[in-house]
Chain A
Amino acid sequence: MWYRSIFGSIILFSCCFILYYFQTHLSFNTHSLSIINKNIHHTAIILARRPSIKILKHLNALINVGVNAYLMCDENPSKYMNITKRILYVNDESLAQYGLTRNRVWDRVFIWLYNQSSIDYVWLMEDDLTWTNVQHMVNLFNKYANNSADLLSRNIIHKNNQTLG
């Protein structure tokens, strides 16, 4: 009779151990997956007049850490298209359809974004923005991943003096 109790205890302990093992193992996988997904879901576009080596390296650094990164150019980048498919360009005719004649990279990026309905949030960065380590950019993106603000900016000023900062 007593060995039946011991045997039952061993079975119970084994079951608890197996459950604990799977729980910790699965939670680790979920955590890893969530970090990867967070990175994948960030979209960032570098805005540049033309793709320089430095800017292409910045683009590459962002892609390498899982950011869905692009480079929007102000000049037709056809000669760079064989380097990467991440270079975007919107021609002057497309801008003219919206009455935009200044032909600026900021206009081009918004015209492109009008048709990208799958992008909920996008980080836009000028080509002269840089960092000590690309992970700092990812940390910033992650920090606001669950923030629903429509515009995140360095500073915002209202004409009626309700300055945000």
Chain B
Amino acid sequence: MGEIFIFSSKNSIRFTKLKCTILNFLFFFVSWIWWPKTYLKLFPENKWSGSLNMLSRVSRRLIQAHQYYIHQLWEERKQNLSIKIDNNYYFQEFFTPTVAHMFNLTMMIYDHSNMDIHVIGLSEDQIGKSLANGKQIFHPVKHDSQLLINATA
């Protein structure tokens, strides 16, 4: 009985780990699920970009590009009140890298070797394992983690 329990809990942990790995793999490497469903002349499809910005750095040039395109989108809506702009155009995960692409601004992925960054909330157990693997920065941590108590020190 004990062996069965150990076997099933090990399988459960493995399954959860596998599920997280698959989800993160899909999210980071395979597909981007928030592309707009409609097209605007303002943003040619070949410029569409997506980025996950739970931690990101933006430059003054990108902020100005952002302001320019927010203004352009607003003008487009004002000029043609009947136009229905897909909400995905406004999501920062789409808008920020796409306007950077429109202005040919430089985009770069930072070194995340010491980070454990996911889309699904990290449990205390996962944080513990990541700490053992030398990770130092975590996302998303929704709870008051006892393992990361020094974060606020």
Contact = CB atoms under 8 A, between A and B. Distances in A.
B97 to A, nearest CB: 6
B74 interface: yes
Residue of B70, B78, B117 contacting most chain A CB atoms (<10 Å): B70
A100 B152 CA distance: 34
Nearest to B90: A102
**Interface SS of chain B: helix, strand, loop or mixed?**
mixed
B138 A136 contact: no
Interface string B90-108: 1010001100110001111
A134 B84 CA distance: 44
Residue of A61, A104, A159 contacting most chain B CB atoms (<10 Å): A159
A99 B131 CA distance: 44
A154 interface: yes
Interface string B21-61: 00000001100100100000000011111111111111111
Interface residues of A, number: 53
**Interface SS of chain A: helix, strand, loop or mixed?**
mixed
Given A99-B77, A133-B151, A150 B109 contact: no
Given A57-B152, A126-B54, A151-B59, A110 B70 contact: yes
Interface string A47-81: 00000001001101100000000000000000000
B67 interface: yes
Interface of B: 28-29, 32, 35, 45-64, 66-67, 70-71, 73-74, 77-78, 87, 90, 92, 96-97, 100-101, 105-112, 114-115, 117, 121, 131, 136-142, 144-145, 148, 150-153
Interface of A: 54, 57-58, 60-61, 98-100, 102, 104, 106-107, 110, 113-114, 117, 119-126, 128-134, 136-137, 140, 143-144, 147-160, 163-165
